[in-house]
Structure 1
Amino acid sequence: MTRPKLLAALAALAVPTMALTGCGVMGIGQPKADLQIYSARHYDLEGAFGEFQDQTGISVEFISGDDAELLERIKAEGENSPADVFMTVDAGNLWNAARQDVLAPVNSAALEEAVPEDLRDAQGRWFGLAMRARTLTYNPDKVSPKDFDQVDSYAGLADKKWKGRLCMRDATSAYTQSLVASLIDLHGYDKTLKIVEGWVANDVQIMGNDVLLLEAIDAGSCDVGINNHYYLARTLADNPDLNVKLYWASQQGAGTHVNISGAGVVASSDNPEQAQQLIEWLATTGQNPFVDGNHEYPVNPEAKPEPVIAEFGDFKRMPLNAEAYGDLNAKAIELLAAADYK
């Protein structure tokens, strides 16, 4: 395929451009925004970006799409790319973008202070901005917290006592792949294979999304699942009577698996200083506007979690290894196939 045809094909993949000024969505004929954001994150962008524009006077335009598609689009556009910031979900995706030289190093004392060391790139090419914890959820009528292994709760679900009682996400889910990659990093390939084979031997029910998983637990068709915490928070906000509880995994061991949504300055950006300013704002003043609407945890220790997830209580998180999530992703996919995990 020629370069012009490749660019046209990639352009067609993206969701239509959405742009904000300080007072609303840009229309035809309005001036081009100061910053162009290529975003694979789809949660409540308008509110946070609107506040940023109101406070700084910097207008923002964002193009939404799949993380891999947007990364390929930036690479194909090269030095002519209009992108200033690449925002995506999953630490492995951020690591991969940095590895492919799509993101520029940023020297920022504000970001180094606001973002914990394991949630940002050592060379300053990307920074985590929101945390999501992938932990155990259960039906309290059928399960007691004391039933779980507190040293490695994920491995504990391979115990035969959970046969016919588990529901989990599918093998193609980035959530599943990153969790398994983190377990490979923690335990090694062979032990993790035995863990996943144990899940399969327990006749795990595979669900297409986290909402279906929570509904299955609530309805009693399975007793235990693994969910991103914010799906439970969203569902509880709409239905406080949901019969599902959260259990913080592996609190006497490595801690609960976490992943991030984050961003970096695109290496070819024409506005790197303003792009850096946006990321700094999202990690500091804009932390709560950015994370609260989706019930995510702020990365900045100075920002407080919103009320619904505050009710979940404090937890010890597993240190995040973005390189492992990215570099071991292929191994995780291989392992899931070897274990016949669907």
Structure 2
Amino acid sequence: MKKTLAATALAAFTALPMAASADGEVNIYSYRQAYLLEPLLEAFNKETGIEANVVFAKKGLAERLEREGRNSPADVVMTVDISRINELVERDLVQGVESEILNQNIPENLRHPEGKWYALTTRGRLIFASKDRVEEGEITTYEQLADDKWKGRICTRSGKHPYNIALFSSMIAHHGEAETEKWLQGVKENLARKPQGGDRDQIKAIAEGVCDLSIGNSYYYGNMLQDENQREIAEQVRLVFPNAEGRGTHVNISGISLTRSAPNRENAIKLMEFLSSEKAQQVYAEANTEYPANPDVAPSGIVTEWGSINPDDLSLQEIANHREAAVKMVDRVDYDGE
């Protein structure tokens, strides 16, 4: 992959031109960091001869696509979180794909009903529990986070963060708005401190004794274990796969969509199909300690040490449909307040 563009050079969308239409190329706008994609795109290039160009950004890709309109050079967008993916659909920035390969490789609940997005990896929204202060099996469901016994013992990031909004949306899908709001109020009353930081910061707070439980994505824990400066902190918590014995653990996704402009449409679909293949899925999931979206591919690397995950088979599109209600609910219970 000769034209992968460095993340630092493009963080502010500096004016580095991308060919809008070139034989043998595909242009990617990505919220995923370039280093996660490099081995995949190199393999894609070797297999197809198609060269991949990547623009990486932490935010603003939807706005950029809107601004560029039909002249956008982007063929696909790779992003994380169902909310961000659904934003592309709601803004009419992506188009549907009809592909037997993609439909065979990606389960129905992990793709848009009209092919406007496909999941590539999944990550569980887990409960992290102190090994010292929480007994194994003492908490097993999301619902139990609202129990009085956890008062002053839970830490989370902002309730408005997309990862939490997706979890709350899934609770609405399962329990309805009234019961979910009662539950969310209970979780807020059990917080040890005002929501702050990221998922890793919650694990650090457990290690420091600030709280005993937190909510976080599985891959953050995996990344911490692989970082020699954070491994000791991560080892002080136990993973809990909530509702594993029932409906299953809530999962979120990283995914890919074909842009509405897509000057290299055929090459873009080839890339999407390649990324859903067994070979690519294993590499992609292992690179960021995630789970493959393709059910024929087993988890690998450090993820296998955590045991099996029983993912909730709720449609991610249904979760996206409850997003607005979840955001309003967070405001009503003043989740992020003191």
- Bin of the TM-score, shorter chain as denominator length: 0.7 to 0.9
Q: Distance in 2 between matches of 1:15 and 1:288?
A: 31
- Percent identity among equivalent residues? 34
Gaps of at least 5 residues in structure 2 are: 1-9
What is aligned with 2:156? 168
* 2:79 corresponds to: 88
Indicate the residue corresponding to 2:290 in structure 1: 296
Task: Please report how far the alpha carbon of residue 113 of structure 1 lies from its aligned counterpart in structure 2 after TM superposition.
Answer: 1.1
Whether the 8 Å CA contact 1:38–1:64 is kept in 2: the answer is yes
| Counterpart for residue 159 of structure 1 | 147
**Residues 14 and 70 in structure 1, CA contact (< 8 A), matched pair in contact too:** no
1:57 aligned residue: 49
Which range moves more in the overlay, 58-67 or 209-218?
Answer: 58-67
Please name the residue that 2:304 is paired with.
310
**Superposed, which structure 2 residues align to 1:91-102 within 5 Å?**
91-102=82-93
Decide whether the 8 Å contact of 2:248 with 2:312 is kept in 1: yes
Would you say the 8 A contact 2:192–2:211 is kept in 1?
no
| 1:26-41 equivalences in 2 (<5 Å) | 34-41=25-32
- Return the TM-score normalized by structure 2: 0.87
Matched, 1:47 2:47: no
Partners in 1 of 2:203 and 2:302 — Cα distance? 17
Could you say which residue in structure 1 is the equivalent of 2:70?
79
1:335 aligns with 2:334: no
What pairs with 1:102-251 in structure 2 (closer than 5 Å)? Answer: 102-148=93-139, 150=140, 153-205=141-193, 206-239=195-228, 240-241=231-232, 242-251=235-244
Whether contact under 8 Å (1:92, 1:324) holds in the other structure is no
SS of equivalent residue, structure 1 residue 145: coil
The 2-side partners of 1:117 and 1:251 are apart by 20
Specify the SS of the correspondent of 2:215. Answer: strand
| Structure 2 counterpart SS, 1:164 | coil
| Alpha-carbon shift at residue 178 of structure 1 (Å) | 0.9
Q: Distance between the aligned counterparts of 1:236 and 1:327, measured in 2? A: 34
d(CA) in 2 for partners of 1:137, 1:45: 28
* 1:22-62 per-position Cα deviation (integer Å, ceiling 9, x unaligned): xxxx9xxxx99811111122261222222222332211111
Deviation at 1:85?
0.4
Check the 8 A contact 1:259/1:320 in 2, yes or no: no
**2:61 pairs with one of 40, 64, 70:** 70
Q: Aligned-pair RMSD on alpha carbons?
A: 2.2
Distance 1:134 1:18 in 2: 37
Preserved CA contact (<8 Å) 1:16 1:63: no
The alignment covers a number of residue pairs equal to: 317
Q: What CA distance in whole angstroms lies between the structure 1 residues aligned with 2:98 and 2:289?
A: 29
Segments of 5+ residues of structure 1 without an aligned counterpart are 1-11, 20-25
SS of equivalent residue, structure 2 residue 101:
helix
Deviations 1:316-341 (CA, angstroms, capped at 9, x unpaired): 11124333333322211111111111
- Contact (CA 8 Å) 1:18, 1:61: kept in 2 or not? no
With the length of structure 1 as denominator, give the TM-score of the two structures: 0.86
